[in-house]
Every structure is written in C-alpha cells, then in structure tokens.
Copies of this chain bind each other. A is one copy, B any other.
Amino acid sequence: MRKGEQTRAAILDAALDLAARRGLEGLTIGVLAERMRMSKSGVFAHFGSREDLQIAVLKHYERRFVESVLLPSLEAARGLARVRALFGHWLAHAALEAEQGCIWISGAVEYDDRPGAVRDELVAMVMSWQRELSRAIGQAVELGQLRPDTDVSAAVFDIYGVILVLHHDARLLRRPGAASRAREAFERIIAYFGPRAPVAAVAVAGEAKLR
C-alpha cells in the first residue's frame, strides 16, 4: 500500500470504531481529525464530505463483514452446513460487536427516517446480505434438508430477528448468555423448518402392521 492508502485505511479504522460507538451520525470530520491527530483539511483530503466519509465507513464495515462472515462460510458445503456456518460466523461477529455496537443495526434506527445516499447504501448492503442468506437457505431446501414448503423469506426474517434481539439484550440489557440464547433460537428455527418427525408415516406403519 502506498502512503496515501495507508493513511486512508487508518482513518477508516478509526472512523468505524467511532461510528460503532456514537453512530454514523455522531461521526464528524472534526472528531475524527482530533482522534487521528490530523488537521480537518487533512481528513477532508481523503473524504470529500461527511456523507462520503459515512459511506466509506459503511463500505469498510461491509468489506470486513464479508471477510469474516460470508467468505469463510462459503467453504462449508452447500445446504444446511453453510446456513449454520453463516449464522455461526455472524453470531461470532455480532458477539464481538456487542462490545462496541454494530453500525448496520444502529444505522437502521438512525436512517430509517432520514432519506439520502447513506440510507440508500445501508439498505443496499442489508438487502445484499439477506440475499446471501436466502440463497443458502434455498439450497438447503433444494437438498431436502429443510422442508420443501419452507418460506425462505420467513426463515431470513426469523434469523434476522435473532441477531437483532441478541444485540438488544447484550447491549441494552447487558444480559449475560445472550449469544448462547441466540444460538438456541437459531436451532429452534432450523428445527421448525427442518423435516418433521414423520407422524403420519409412523401412524400408517402402525396400521399397516396391524393388517
């Protein structure tokens, strides 16, 4: 990396750390310059505006998320193994974030009523991540590891809820054990959409034996 790129990367790391704690809206060029012991114009030279900085921070976050959650999960076999890997890596990532906050989750509240380029970027990222989850769950259905009538969007909805409530309980309520509670909640979802115990088949088998 050239010097300029190194500086930009260092600013982004600091900016992401600040945004995780104070929200993307709490991120200002002034605070960031102070943190980096740079002049404001020095920071401005790398990011033309506050909005550009916020979007760059979101992209920086997404890059890390893809590296630590999505890519390692793609090494797992298609189907349920990959769905479990995606959730497992996501959970590990979220548990780390319970220390400092997740800018996708805090951003959801900051930007839900605030139209503009930052909101658009955030929505696009969340949708893209939900598409990855949907694809993996769809493959598990195709492989017969989840029931054929599984509503894939419903499963994504449920799993997203688990991560949101984990973040809520760990950060707001400081409730211990939120991560293992989240893991159990995920297993309940998989059990729900998984192939059912064959009640009818057993009953029919019983009757067949009677004849």
Binding site for B on A (CB under 8 A): 21-23, 100-101, 105-106, 108-113, 122-123, 126-127, 151, 153-154, 157-158, 160-162, 164-165, 168-169, 171-173, 181-182, 184-185, 188-189, 191-192, 197, 199, 202-203, 205-207, 209-210
A interface majority secondary structure:
helix
Q: A197-B197, A206-B210 are in contact. List 14 more A-B contacts (CB 8 A).
A: A22-B113, A101-B112, A108-B168, A109-B110, A126-B172, A157-B169, A158-B162, A161-B162, A188-B189, A188-B192, A197-B199, A199-B202, A203-B206, A205-B206
Contact A171 B21 (CB under 8 A): no
* A173–chain B nearest beta-carbon distance, Å: 6
**Of the candidates B173, B192, B206, which one forms a contact with A191 in the assembled complex, judged by CB atoms under 8 Å apart?**
B192
Q: Which residue on B lies nearest to A127, using beta carbons?
A: B173
Contact B168 A160 (CB under 8 A): yes
* A151–chain B nearest beta-carbon distance, Å: 8
In angstroms, Cα B203 to Cα A209, docked, is 11
**Of the candidates B108, B171, B192, which one forms a contact with A112 in the assembled complex, judged by CB atoms under 8 Å apart?**
B171
Q: Report B-chain residues with C-beta under 8 Å of the C-beta of A113.
A: 21-22, 100-101, 171
